Structure formats: C-alpha cells, structure tokens
Structure 1
Amino acid sequence: MPRSPLVPARLAFLPFSARAAVAEGLVTRSMLRSRAWLRLLPDIYVHRDGYRADDHRMWCDAVALTLPPGGAVGGLSAAYLWGVDLLARNAPVTALVPGATRPRPRPRVRCTLARLPAEDVTRFGGLPVSTPLRTAFDLGRTLPRTEAVVAVDALLNRRVVKPAALTDYLAARPGWPGVLLLREVLGLAEPLSESPMETRLRLLLVDAGLPVPIAQHDVYDARGRFVGRVDLAYPRLRIALEYEGDHHRERAHFRQDVARLNDLRAAGWVVLRFTADDVLRHPARLVAQVTQAVRERSAAGSDTRSPGRQMR
C-alpha cells in the first residue's frame, strides 16, 4: 500500500502561496493537483487537514497572502480577530486596500478602497490588520445605524477600544465619510452592553422615546444584600429588562434564573424578559409592554426609597 506523501510542517494547516512554496521546493505543481490540497484563492492553497469551510480565521490567513503592500484585514473581519464575532455564516473577509484601483472581485473577499496610514495597521497572529481603534472607527461610520452601535458597543465592552480614544480619533478626521453617523453612534454607545441583542433591545426603547435604561445594574434588597445584576434597568421604577439567550435554557442556568427572578420580585422589582424573537420580529409589542410597565410604575409612585438601596 503506497504511503501518503509527507506534508511539510509549514504547509500542514495554514494557507500558503503556491508560487512561494514551489520556489522553496516544499511542493511541486503536480502535487498541488492532488486531492490533498484545496485551492482557496488564485495562487493560495491549503492542505485538506487545515481546511474548514466556515473558519473565518482560515480565510483571513488566505486573504492576507494576497494583500498589496499597505493593505490589511479590516471591518468585521478585523473585529472578529479582536474578539468580536458579528459575522454571518460564509461572510467574506473584508480587505482594506490602499490606492485608487480596486482588485478584481473574488468569492469570500470584499475589497474596500481605504486611506490607510501605517499607524492604523498592526499585526495579529502574523496578519496585517486594522488597529482596534481604526476598526471601531470604520464600523461605526459605515454599517447601518443599529449594526454600527452593536459593533462599537462590542469593541468597547471587550476593552480593546476606549470611548475617549475613539472620540479623539473621530475629532481628528472631520472630513471622512460617515463621521456624522459615528457621532450619533458614540452618543448611543454603551460599553457595559454584554451582547448584540442587549444593544438592539436598548436601541428599540430609546428610539421609541422611552428613557435610556441603565445597563448591567446591580440590585440590592432592603437589607443591602446583593440580589442580582440585570441587563437593563429603570432603577427609580424598579423595572428590570432581561434578554434571554439560548444559554438560559440549560438546566443549571435555568434554575439560577428562577431563584434570581424570585429574589428580584421579593425586592419589589418587575422583571420583563425578552427573546431574540421579541426583539427582531415583534418590536412594537415589546415596546408596548415596556411602556405599559413604565406608566403603571410611574402612576404608582414607585421609587428606590422603598425596598432596598439601588447601586451600580
């Protein structure tokens, strides 16, 4: 039985340039025509053991090998590398390309012409990538408003970007496209937001004219005992708003949630719980439910002086 050909360690799992690998004598063109290798992009191959169709990092590695000098991985792909995954399945890699000539379109690659000074590019795992600050700047001014707030919230929450630094960065680039949108986004941003759906829930309420809720609010009972942290809150009215993700369905988490919910109610709080379906498909109903709770609590004259002290 013939042995499988030995795969050079450098080519075992990561994408590589066929031209460079052949020039170094690591493989031959005839070897690359075998089923052991997959062509990702023109001149870019990967060994079958390193191929994962939906692995965005693999595609970033592949696209980085095709970038012109001064280019970088950017946009949502850069955010992914910085720990913020907002990508759809099979999303193309965003490539920032300096200059005036856009490269030919290719599957799994979205090329964007960009002014890209050297200080806006760094290295991540060997890849040229836009800095977290430039990434937040780009996403906050180019995405649709809600998605822009989601992206900026997520980067701020990861603490790879600081609000003051992004504000200063924006102020130094007044003529760039989309800066008016980014100014609005910064006014809506909340670094404490812990998930994209929490951000979307908060924006629904704000856009409906409801008060801006407090994110990640700590609740204490009348004896000063910590009861729990809620996603969003109107502390004066003792209204908590919770987004319920899939992880809440796990048995242990479900039991903890039930106990916490009972403690919140005992402390005089109304708790409204919402799912992705509520936020994305029934926003008007969600807003109506929150509005009703606010009106009822306001009419009842509830405030934080009855039971428990409210703390961040």
Structure 2
Amino acid sequence: MTPLVEPFRGSAAVAGGVLTPAQLRGPRWQRVLPDVYVAAGVELTHELRARAAVVLLPGAVVTGLSAAWLWQVDVDGPDGAAHSSRVEVTVPPGGNARVPGLLVRRRALPDHQVGCPPWLRDVPTLWPDHAALELAADPARDHVESVVVLDQFCAAGRASLTSLRRAATGWSGRGCRLLQAALRDADGLAGSPPETRLRLGMRAAGLPAPVAQHRLVRATGQRVKYLDFAWPHLRLAVEYDGSNHVLTSTRPEAGFALPKDRRVLNEVQELGWQLFYVTAPDHRDLAGVVARIGSALAARAAQLGVPLHPAS
C-alpha cells in the first residue's frame, strides 16, 4: 500500500510537490480531518479516523471509547464507538487543540500506559487495562455499566481481573470510588453486557449466588456445555438466548446453530437439569425477569426438597 493510500497531511504533499492544491481538492482524495486526506473510496472507519488523528497530532494517544474499539472491545455494543465519527485522543499538556471530528484531552500519560495494538503498530493507544479502568471510572456511567466495561475487557481477552486490579493499585482522583466498587463486583466471565446486568440484578434481589459459566459434564468427564448461570445444588441454570447476546458476545459458542444447540439442550435436560431462558426483550423489565428466576429457584428447591441457599 502506498503512503498516499494511508492518511497523509495534505499540506506536506503539496509542499513536497507530490500533489497540487487542485489535485488535492479533486475526486481522487477525500478529507478525513482538517489537512488529513486519504484516497477516495477508502471506507472511513473509526480505525482509519484514529490513524488520521495521530497523523494530524504527533504525540497523540488514542484513549477512551476509541481506545477500547482499537483493542476490539466495543463496550457500548453495536451502537458504540464503531459508529462514531468522533475519535478521542489525549495529547500532552500545553497549547490549544480544537479539531473538528476529535475529542482532544490534555494530560501527561506515563509511558507504561501506552502501547500499540499489534495490528496498528503506528497508532499509540492507551493500554487495555488502563483504557478499561478509565472508562469504568467515568462518573457518567452508573455502577452496573462500570462493571459491564470491566467484564467486556476480560471477555475479549484484553485484560483479566488480576491485571485490572494490579493496574488500579494507587488509583486516586476522579471516579476512584466508582472504579473500586466496579472492580469488586466484576467477575470477568460474562460473555456479553446483558449477562453482567442480569448477574448484578439477581445479586441485588438477594437470589442465591449462581456459578457463572458452569462446566456441565457427563459421567465420563466429557463436557456437555458451559451454562451461563447455574445453581448446581438445584440442577437449575439460566441461559441467555437472544439476538443482542449473539451480536455482542465474544465467546465462540455464541454463534447460534439451532440443530446442534437443541441436541445439547436435550442432553442437559436428560442429565436432570432444568433450564430457564432469558431473551433480549426480557431486559426491558429486568426486575420482572429476576423475580421470575427467583420463583423458579424457590419452586425447584421445593421440588427437590433442598435448601434454596446452599450451605457455605
């Protein structure tokens, strides 16, 4: 790929005699940011806009939702950073940088917090652990959505609860309490934001704590399925089944194959387990679906003649 197909400074191309001003304004090139161009026909993705930002502002680091997206974590789901034309970058303190199409923040970032995704080696980006922590500490998010951020980074394999908690050591200032509370409640196991919201909803309602991603096995030791939320002492599990889940889940098994899925579910039931399904529309009334899960748990405990809450 030639340099002119990558984002480039129009003024530099003109000064170097590569293009004339008239050619730059012609149909072969399109403007991405002020004085930054790319070949016409190239899709203006969020990634390309981020590349253009660091061309325009040397020393800039991609941060915020844009950093999450470059690390392939879209914490806000299908309507998040991927569809935003505004890229967030952080530049060193001093001066004034107002650029249409960019959200520019000014502060010093320690070197250890910055790296480049392997597939974007020329785009300095806030390291995943620190990107996750900053998004989770944003006061614009409530507690549940802060936990969602941390779980999504873990689900995408960009961070772990251990690395997040290590990176948060000594964290102070804006959003500190929100962040620490989110770190306590994240489990790093949810495959999608709705699963995190459902888990926290069940916890807030005082339901027995489920085992997330419970590995159900046959007597032979062969795995049958990972259950989203399971109460092994009741042999009852909650499965999240919805288009929203399929679109946002990072787990390979989230791809829905109906015949195979139905065979697996039959085997789950043959092993004596009862399944409770939660679908995407159920989240319009999260309190209602949590109440129904609570009723199902109580009924199952009565059916089996065991305590609702397992002995600790």
Quick check: TM above 0.5? yes
Would the alpha carbon gap of residues 144 and 30 (structure 1) be closer, same or farther in structure 2, given more than 3 Å must change? farther
Distance in structure 2 (CA, Å) of the matches to 1:200 and 1:217 = 18
| Letter of the structure 2 residue corresponding to residue 211 of structure 1 | P
Cα RMSD (Å)? 2.6
Q: Secondary structure at the match of 2:293?
A: helix
Alignment of 1:296 onto 2:299: yes
Following TM superposition, by how much is the alpha carbon of 1:252 offset from its aligned partner in structure 2, in angstroms? 7.2
Q: Partner residue of 2:282?
A: 278
Among candidates 48, 61, 64, match of residue 75 of structure 1:
64
Q: Give distance in 2, aligned partners of 1:237 and 1:197.
A: 23
Segment drifting more, 236-245 vs 125-134: 236-245
Structure 1 residue 100, shift from structure 2 partner: 5.8
The alignment's TM-score, normalised by the length of structure 2, stands at: 0.83
Runs of at least 5 residues in structure 1 that lack an aligned partner in the other structure: 1-7, 305-312
* Distance in 1 of aligned mates of 2:239 and 2:228: 5
Deviation at 1:21, TM superposition (A): 2.2
Q: Distance in 2 between matches of 1:203 and 1:267?
A: 28
User: How many pairs does the alignment contain?
Assistant: 289
Q: Which amino acid in the other structure matches residue 207 of structure 1?
A: A
1:222 positional shift:
5.3
* 1:26 pairs with 2:15: no
Q: 1:277 to 1:88 in 2, by over 3 A?
A: farther
Check whether the contact 1:217–1:229 (CA below 8 A) recurs between aligned residues.
yes
Cα distance in 1 for residues equivalent to 2:161 and 2:127: 15
* Pair 204,216 (structure 1): closer, same or farther in 2 beyond 3 Å: same
Deviation at 1:292, TM superposition (A): 0.6
Q: For residues 219 and 303 of structure 1, what CA distance do their matches in structure 2 show?
A: 20
Question: How high is the TM-score relative to the length of structure 1?
Answer: 0.83
Alpha-carbon contact 2:69-2:81 (below 8 Å) kept: no
Q: Which position in structure 1 is the counterpart of 2:127? A: 131
User: Residues of 2 paired with 1:114 and 1:243: CA distance?
Assistant: 41
Report whether the alignment pairs 1:57 with 2:47: yes
CA distance in 2, matches of 1:45, 1:155: 32
Q: Distance in 1 between matches of 2:275 and 2:295?
A: 13
1:238 and 1:303 in contact (8 A); partners too: no
Conserved? CA contact 1:237–1:302, under 8 Å: no
- Note if 1:171 corresponds to 2:160: no
In 2, Cα distance between the equivalents of 1:100 and 1:297? 63
The alpha carbon displacement at 1:88 in A equals 4.8
Structure 1 residues 238-268: Cα deviation after superposition (integer angstroms, max 9, x where no partner) = 22111123359x9971112211221112222
Q: Map 1:76-91 onto structure 2 (within 5 A).
A: 76-86=65-75, 87-88=80-81, 90-91=83-84
Q: Is 1:287–2:290 an aligned residue pair?
A: yes
Match of 2:46, as an amino acid? H
Which of 82, 90, 104 is equivalent to 1:96?
Answer: 90
Distance 2:175 2:213 in 1: 30
Q: Is the 8 A contact 2:8 2:55 kept in 1?
A: yes
Q: Quick one: which of 114, 117, 126 aligns to 1:121?
A: 114
Distance 2:142 2:14 in 1: 44
Alignment equivalent of 1:243, drawn from 240, 243, 261: 240
The CA distance in 2 between the partners of 1:264 and 1:37, in whole Å, is 57
- The question of 1:256 aligning with 2:260 is answered yes
Q: Give 3-state SS (helix, strand or coil) of 2:216's partner.
A: strand
8 Å CA contact retained: 1:222, 1:267: no
- Return the alpha-carbon distance in structure 1 between the equivalents of residues 228 and 267 of structure 2: 16
Which residue in 2 is equivalent to 1:234?
Answer: 231
Counterpart code for 1:130: L
Contact 1:213/1:233 (CA < 8 Å) preserved in 2? yes
Cα 1:25/1:212, change in 2 over 3 Å = farther
**Percent identity over paired residues:** 34
- Once residues 302 and 17 of structure 1 are traced to their aligned partners in structure 2, the CA distance between those partners, rounded to angstroms, is 73
